[in-house]
Amino acid sequence: MKIEKSERLKSLPPYLFKEIDRQKDEARARGIDIIDLGVGDPDMPTPPHIIRELEKAANDPANHQYPSYTGMDAFNKAVAGWYEKRFKVDLDPSKEVVTLIGSKEGIAHIPLAFINPGDMALVPNPGYPVYEIGVNFAGGDVCFMNLLKENDYLPDLDAVPEEVAQKTKLMFINYPNNPTSAVAGMSFFDKLVSYAKKHDIIICHDAAYTEMAFDGYKPISFLEADGAMEVGMEFHSLSKTYNMTGWRIGFAVGNAEVIQALGQVKSNIDSGAFQAVQLAGITALEGDQTCIDEMNGIYTERRDLLVDGLRELGLTAKKPKATFYVWIDVPDGYTSSEFASHLLTKAGVVATPGNGFGTAGEGYIRMALTVDNERIKEVLKRIKETGF
């Protein structure tokens, strides 16, 4: 029998991390001690009080059956409570909150709720690849908004052609940003609200990194902007905040019509997140938050060690105010891929080439602060020895 993939799969953009993955496997096979700064996955464990709640909840047979499609009332209430406490944003847990099986799930599914074939979506470049792919899977077309250093990695809305804005149904944005680590303030969010109103564009803000911030900086929510609840929503995740990437729990909040449409898509596709995970998620959101400060303290040390060290070696990188990513200019004479290959094959250090996140990421590599201080010192030592 001939098995033929759908056009949807056949037309996926080329997977640009393939070459680096291959080189990584090859180096491992050669027995090289690789230091992987390539993956945005916290290296530290989930705080113990959250794990204890999972253990308890997993033992309760009431949690062994199908959960509600859109989340337990108790979890959605905990999310609303957390938004009120953290951002002073008032949410109705029954209409303006939906539980997700990780925020990636919601990001991938939301285009199915709003995009018809031929509709456009505005997507940041560089950006988290799921924005583009989710839109394409729904039959929509993507128009990229370049995030440039000279604009502090904020999109230039005036540069979007009028005919594109006319056809655009939704826009993805993400601050604090992966991969550039840029942050956004209220003046940008205010601009976004008026732009959305003018063109009837639903704003989907991916806020996965609001809690991973340093030096006293507190990222804001898009929903804090006046009128934001009329035009958009926000994705959030417990993954990065509480070292829970493997648990698959996140949520979407905001405009009731938007959230309910996403819930409708989900109720036709999945059957909700494991209740025991949701109960542990409530403990995460409502429990002691000092674990966040502790982790941010560790990331701050790692950041300073890595960025100061890279600068001493003659590389250019900004110290991130938020996220655990360092966005580094590629030195003269290399493309992003060439420099990432150089570091991997010559120094055994894995960094992510910026062009893997989109064409506008060319000229940069991304390093994640996901190894301890000793390993960061080893990274710097190796790069110094190898040169570039």
Ligand X SMILES: *Cc1c(COP(=O)(O)O)cnc(C)c1O
CA dihedral 147, 148, 154, 156 (to 10 degrees): -90
- The smaller minimum CB distance to ligand X, of residues 102 and 232, is found at 102
Residue with tokens 């829970």: 244
126 is a contact residue toward ligand X (CB under 6 A): no
* Size of the residue set binding ligand X (CB under 6 A): 14
How many CB atoms are located within 10 Å of the residue 219 CB? 20
Per-residue contact flags (x/-) with ligand X for residues 231 to 250, judged by CB under 6 A: ------x-xx----x----x
Among 72, 120, 208, 228, binds ligand X (CB under 6 A): 208
Shortest Å distance, C-beta 128 to ligand X = 4
CB of 245 to ligand X, least distance (A): 5
Structure tokens that stand for 16 in this block: 């640009």
The dihedrals phi and psi of 170, each to the nearest 5 degrees, come to -145, 160
**Closest approach of Cβ 125 to ligand X, in Å?**
13
Distances (CA, A) of 157 to 196, 229, 297, 354: 10, 20, 35, 22
CB closer to ligand X, 17 vs 380? 17
Phi, psi torsion values for 125, nearest 5 degrees: -135, 115
Q: 201 or 204: whose CB is closer to ligand X?
A: 204
| Minimum gap (Å) between residue 375 Cβ and ligand X | 21
Minimum distance, C-beta of residue 15 to ligand X, in the bound complex (Å):
17
Please, which residues have CB within 8 angstroms of residue 320's CB and are 6 or more apart in sequence? 176, 181, 214, 303, 326, 327
Cα distances (angstroms) measured from residue 236 to each of 72, 176, 250, 319 = 16, 12, 6, 24
- Structure-block tokens of residue 90: 């008032």
Could you say whether residue 366 binds ligand X (CB under 6 A)? Answer: no
Which of 174, 180, 210, 337 is the binder for ligand X (CB under 6 A)? 174
Q: With binding defined as CB under 6 A, does residue 104 bind ligand X?
A: yes
Contact between 124 and ligand X by CB under 6 A: the answer reads: no
Cα-Cα end-to-end distance for the chain: 51
- What distance in Å separates the CA atoms of residue 158 and residue 201, rounded to the nearest whole number? 15
Q: For the sheet containing 250-254, what is the strand order?
A: 97-100, 250-254, 232-237, 202-206, 168-174, 120-125, 141-146
Per-residue interface string for the shown chain with ligand X, residues 4-43, x marking contact by CB under 6 A = ------------------------------------x---
CB of 182: closest distance to ligand X in angstroms? 12
C-beta closer to ligand X: residue 276 or 347: 276
- Residue 251 tokens read as 């949520």
**Measured from the CB of residue 148, what is the shortest distance to ligand X in angstroms?**
18
Q: Rule CB under 6 A: choose which of 178, 181, 210, 336 binds ligand X.
A: 178
Bridge-partner residues for 349, per DSSP? 35
Window of 99-107, 110-118, 143-151, 152-160 that interacts with ligand X by CB under 6 A: 99-107
Question: Whole-number minimum distance, CB 31 to ligand X, in Å?
Answer: 31
How far apart are CB 104 and ligand X at their closest, in Å?
3
Does 180 participate in binding ligand X (rule CB under 6 A)?
A: no
Q: Name, in order, each residue with C-beta under 8 angstroms of 34's C-beta and a sequence gap of 6 or more.
A: 24, 27, 28, 344, 348, 349, 350
For residue 128, state whether it binds ligand X (rule: CB under 6 A).
Answer: yes
Catalog residues that contact ligand X under the rule CB under 6 A.
40, 102-104, 128, 174, 178, 206, 208, 237, 239-240, 245, 250
